[in-house]
Structure 1
Amino acid sequence: MSSDSTSASVPGNSDGEFPRAFYATIRLVDGFTDVTGKLIALSMLFLVVTISYEVVMRYGFGAPTIWVYESSFMVNGAAFMLGAGYALLKGAHVRTDIYWENYSERTKGIVDLISYLFLFYPAMIIFMLISIDDAWHSYETGERSQESVWRAIMWPFRATIPLAAVLLMIQGISEVLKCWYQVRFGREFVHKEKIEI
């Protein structure tokens, strides 16, 4: 984090014109996303344990399971979707840098703000509404997987899709406020290091 962004994140800094409620909202949303992202990451422990169990049972005892394959791809898929909000917080989503690096900080803020308001939120709302309908249909019909004889219930897996959209939109609130800050003051609220998750 740069020295500018450190001072920017504290309410009542020398600029003093960015409303205190915005700082509080950013801290609340970022804290929520950080906690949920770390909780979702714990699902990787489930994958390690169950896949290790499958390897031992299959190759050590000649007794493969019927549930590990399906549960592992469902948990991995759910973690991938539900972790998207955390990736947004950390700046891990794809961005085309060929032009981006040449923009001023204020221009970057304007482009991001317009993108969030007119592309991100409409797309996430549509994505959420369609996927809620799919998850509800899956629940009502008692849909089961056709991938194996285990025939896992599908609605919890399908429900992760609208939940992922909700988590993304929640983090989007913080990102919109950070963009607003960037447009107003011509510097990043917090510098993101373009990490890979």
Structure 2
Amino acid sequence: MLSFSLLIDRVNTVIGQIFAWCIVGLTGVVTYEVIQRYVMNAPSRWGFDASYMLYGTLFMLAGAYALSRGSHVRGDFLYRYWPDTKQAKFDLVLYILFFFPGILALVWAGWDFAKLSWMLNETSSFSPDGLYVWPFKFLIPITGVMMFFQGISEVIRCMICLQTGRWPARIQDVRELEDEILAEVQEKGIDETLKDLEKKGIA
């Protein structure tokens, strides 16, 4: 089961990392629009549409990747102090009761929403150029499918935790410096960690 879970993680990681490059395009579009609007006094006719489509693409297609890393915002002021098995039970109940019904509704409604947009050859009403929006709307059911499979991966992790008493390791990724320090504190203790940080010139 763990190998299947990691396969889902890897697929969503690749997709998320590819579409994370949308941030470069988004930065370019916003920079261009600011220059055109405030320096050239000639705002573009497509900048607004392009910027929110790029942001939406980044937000949606990186969602499953973020879930695979446990990076979504959560109110974990109590959760973090629970033993692993209690966390797994709590997560499992929430995935079954709320996550999967919500995601299936997203896929179902999103497909109808995108299909209607395609049939109408819908364009944006927010700018004069009226960029096509139906390709963007098809990202809604695609995102739902990605999140559904990532949810399966998370459920597998919960089941493994309940069997072994510990969370299985996630695929390692870039981490914030504070996370690295906290992990080092747990491994070495606060005094030794502070000495190491002083040697590195961080503390």
Deviations, residues 103-122 of structure 1 (Å, cap 9, x unaligned): 22111111112222232111
With structure 2 as the length reference, what TM-score do the two structures score? Answer: 0.78
Paired with 1:37 and 1:154, the residues of 2 have a C-alpha distance of: 21
**1:138 is matched with which residue: 113, 117, 121?**
117
Could you say which residue in structure 2 is the equivalent of 1:77? 56
Identity %: 32
**2:34 is matched with which residue: 55, 66, 71?**
55
- Cα distance, 1:101 vs. partner? 2.6
Amino acid at match of 1:45: V
Alpha-carbon contact 2:26-2:51 (below 8 Å) kept: yes
Q: How many correspondences in the alignment?
A: 174
**2:107 is matched with which residue: 128, 131, 135?**
128
Alpha-carbon contact 2:114-2:137 (below 8 Å) kept: yes
With structure 1 as the length reference, what TM-score do the two structures score? Answer: 0.81
**1:187 is matched with which residue: 145, 161, 166?**
166
Paired with 1:70 and 1:78, the residues of 2 have a C-alpha distance of: 12
The answer to whether the aligner puts 1:155 opposite 2:134 as a matched pair is yes
**2:7 is matched with which residue: 28, 32, 36?**
28
Paired with 2:98 and 2:167, the residues of 1 have a C-alpha distance of: 21
Could you say which residue in structure 2 is the equivalent of 1:42? 21
Gaps of 5+ in 1: 1-21
Could you say which residue in structure 1 is the equivalent of 2:69? 90
Amino acid at match of 2:3: A
**Relative contact order: is structure 1 or structure 2 higher (C-alpha 8 Å, sep ≥ 6)?**
1
- Which range moved further: 24-33 or 57-66? 57-66
**1:119 is matched with which residue: 76, 98, 105?**
98
The Cα RMSD (Å) is 2.0
Q: Which secondary structure does the structure 2 equivalent of 1:98 belong to? A: coil
- Which range moved further: 124-133 or 110-119? 110-119
Q: Which secondary structure does the structure 1 equivalent of 2:116 belong to? A: helix
Amino acid at match of 2:35: V
